[in-house]
Chain A
Amino acid sequence: MATATTTYREALREALREALSADDRVFLMGEDVGKYGGSFGVSLGLVEEFGPERVRDTPLSESAFVGTGIGAAIAGMRPVVEVMTVNFSLLALDQILNNAATLRHMSGGQLSVPVVIRMTTGAGRQLAAQHSHSLEGWYAHIPGIRVLAPATLEDARGMLAPALADPDPVVIFEHGSLYNVSGELAPVEGPLDVASAAVRRSGDDVTLLTYGGSLPKVLSAADLLAGEGISAEVVDLRSLRPLDDATIMASVARTHRAVVVDEGWRTGSLAAEVSARITEQAFYELDAPVGRVCSAEVPIPYARHLEEAALPQAEGVAAAAREAVGHRG
């Protein structure tokens, strides 16, 4: 089928449009999702198309409107709640953790919370320390929710429908540096599998595991490495909870080396979890210690050079891969 040129932002919008058209129970709410079009322009035009009841501007009250989404989901609606950024989601963390993630369990299985919460994450736009953090690893810590990180146009377009079909809460992290990424997107064919990690580039010498906004950097690192004769496999985790252990371990079992790249801080990170699982499940396959490339342990700074230095970059990923390959088991 014919592909079309689109952006990550437009792909997300198309997914929202499709969901709003397909199911009366679906509605979008969040700060400035209406006329303004969403703080990152994702919902631009949707209020004109679907009206202010279903594309609903909320007051500035993260806890109240996220909780309202959770309550509406319990009552059988299919709300998509947009939180401007993961930093602001902390004002709603009570609702997400103490209500969305626990209600099914606390009620002995009586309640279902089919809410989708979308938020922007990540750095790279010189927005400094209160708009740049990557806390998706915290969310991935929580049983009772599914955590997704679309890194490609296809996933931006395709992850919302399965998230809405999920009877449990799903949190979707959109990396701020990806909205303007453009490329070719094939028309949707059937529901997307959101449970599996994806091999974005095949290779034999080392597995580079990453997700979300770091994927383009890791793919660049793989290009650099290819120029040096190192064949890197790139695995996009896609689902941060649950993690697709099978795909991770299958790749590591072939390459015998792994580097995890995560924009979160290293200490207590998602990268730490992936690394621990590899040592638990594939220790005897390893020819080198599992490497990690994470953000420096500092609030993300404003100045461009400092911000760049704080974040994982292609060169640092390549260096970690070289080090892993340097180990000859």
Chain B
Amino acid sequence: MSTSHRKPAKPAHHGTHQDAAAKHHRDLLASMLLIRRFEERCVELYSAAKIRGFVHLYIGEEAVAAGVLDALGPADAVVSTYREHGHALARGVPTDAVMAEMYGKATGCSRGRGGSMHLFDTSRRFYGGNAIVGGGIPLAAGLALAEKMRGGPGAVCCFFGDGAFAEGEFHETANLAVLWGLPLLLACENNLYAMGTPLRAEHGQTDLAMRAASYGMPAWAVDGMDVLAVEDAARRAVEGIRAGHGPYFLELRTYRFRAHSMYDPDRYRDKAEVEHWRTRDPVMLLERRMRSAGELDDASYAELDRRCTDEVDRAVAAAEAAPVEPVGDLLRYVGTVPGDLPEAR
């Protein structure tokens, strides 16, 4: 991400390995900051009625997207949920295209048909935004099956929440994926809530990794606020998947700092609980770590931050100026069957 090479703080002790690590940390920080700044702008734009619909913010959970997606390559595929801005951005879907989609513009990554919850970019093997809780999980298994049948090297990563873990589609797919040895990473974002329902009210047994392991796949829990821990876990899982060991499950323990969606008054959580988790802000944790390692100082942080903010500014300006799809194209992309819709006769 960084184009200019800053002078390392402790040049005498740093070799290329340390430089590479520092650069890598900067990339992860940039990835998380971009999501953070993007979504903060979404809040403003929502209040200004520039963007509408259900908008689910990822703020607080950025380490999961940044860390997991860092472990994937371009040949891998990603399936996401309605809380997906972070996944899309970390996957490299252009900020412009995501913002334009939020605006419902023709230049949006789904041509304005999807909105916040349905971001797609097949050129980056980003298979969207599914707003049916658990609905993307079987789909991801299918992408993985195709990969396996064709002998491809790709892994498929499927994000879903702790709430989705209660859905039959998760359990059906977990069983099927193990049975067929599918190259699938089941990335469960345990943010402790499904809308207003806390984990303990959703699950009789709240140790999700243990339950996933009972299907016969490697599964473990990770501190989802620590992007390096997330990345390390994802890398190990993806290695196992590429080695042909079948599906892996990661329980990424995280927390959303904002309400479930822009509609949610957030009445079900203690302010103290939220404040406690904010002390584990994933952006802040990495920033601190980098500062103490001499990888970041005020100036370089400000520079990074400014670049993210600029990118969001440009995306907003482009979305504002972008055209909308003509109403005459309403019936496009429904199917290729001629005459399917009576209106099209």
Surface stretch bound by A, among B16-24, B61-69, B140-148, B301-309: B140-148
Q: Is the CB of A67 within 8 A of B138?
A: yes
Q: How far is the CB of B337 from chain A (nearest CB, A)?
A: 5
Surface stretch bound by A, among B83-91, B128-136, B252-260: B128-136
Q: Is the CB of A108 within 8 A of B142?
A: no
Tell yes or no: B261 within 8 A of A by CB: no
24 examples of A-B residue contacts, CB within 8 angstroms: A59-B172, A59-B175, A61-B173, A64-B175, A64-B176, A65-B172, A71-B138, A71-B139, A71-B141, A72-B145, A74-B142, A74-B143, A98-B130, A103-B128, A105-B334, A107-B113, A107-B118, A108-B109, A108-B112, A144-B334, A195-B338, A242-B337, A242-B341, A277-B342
A69-B337 CB under 8 A given contacts A59-B175, A59-B176, A107-B120: no
Contact among A67, A69, A103, A168 for B169, CB-based, below 8 A = A67
Q: Is the CB of B145 within 8 A of A68?
A: yes
Closest residue of A by beta carbon distance from B79: A71
Q: Is the CB of B336 within 8 A of A70?
A: no
Tell yes or no: A94 within 8 A of B by CB: yes
Which one of A59, A112, A241 has the greatest number of beta carbons of chain B within 10 Å?
A59
Contact among A71, A99, A106, A110 for B121, CB-based, below 8 A = A110
B 85-120 contacts with A by CB, 8 A: 108-114, 118, 120
Residues of B within 8 A of A68 (CB): 138-139, 141-142, 145, 173, 176
Residues of A within 8 A of B179 (CB): 59
Complex: A106 Cα to B111 Cα, angstroms: 8
Contact among A108, A112, A145 for B113, CB-based, below 8 A = A108
Q: Is the CB of B337 within 8 A of A168?
A: yes
Q: Is the CB of A64 within 8 A of B138?
A: yes
Q: Is the CB of A108 within 8 A of B143?
A: no
A75-B333 CB under 8 A given contacts A64-B138, A94-B132, A98-B132: no
Q: Is the CB of B175 within 8 A of A71?
A: no
Q: Is the CB of B173 within 8 A of A106?
A: no
Which one of A61, A63, A67 has the greatest number of beta carbons of chain B within 10 Å?
A67
In the complex, how many residues of chain B place their beta carbon closer than 8 angstroms to a beta carbon of chain A?
Answer: 50
Contact among A75, A95, A108, A242 for B108, CB-based, below 8 A = A108
Tell yes or no: A173 within 8 A of B by CB: no
Contact among A61, A75, A76, A104 for B334, CB-based, below 8 A = A104
Tell yes or no: B249 within 8 A of A by CB: no
Contact among A58, A67, A111, A144 for B137, CB-based, below 8 A = A67
Complex: A59 Cα to B176 Cα, angstroms: 7
Residues of B within 8 A of A103 (CB): 128
B residues sitting closer than 8 Å to A (CB atoms) are 77, 108-114, 118, 120-122, 127-130, 132, 135, 137-147, 149-150, 168-169, 172-173, 175-176, 179, 332-342, 345
Q: How far is the CB of A9 from chain B (nearest CB, A)?
A: 27
Which one of B132, B144, B337, B340 has the greatest number of beta carbons of chain A within 10 Å?
B337
Complex: A115 Cα to B135 Cα, angstroms: 17
A64-B172 CB under 8 A given contacts A27-B149, A71-B138: yes
Residues of B within 8 A of A61 (CB): 168, 172-173, 175-176
Tell yes or no: A190 within 8 A of B by CB: no
Complex: A143 Cα to B336 Cα, angstroms: 11
A106-B110 CB under 8 A given contacts A111-B127, A166-B337, A167-B336: yes
Contact among A71, A79, A168 for B140, CB-based, below 8 A = A71
Q: What sequence of 0s and 1s flags, for each residue 151-180 of chain A, a beta carbon within 8 Å of any chain B beta carbon?
A: 000000000000000111000000000000
Complex: A269 Cα to B130 Cα, angstroms: 30
Q: Is the CB of B345 within 8 A of A245?
A: yes
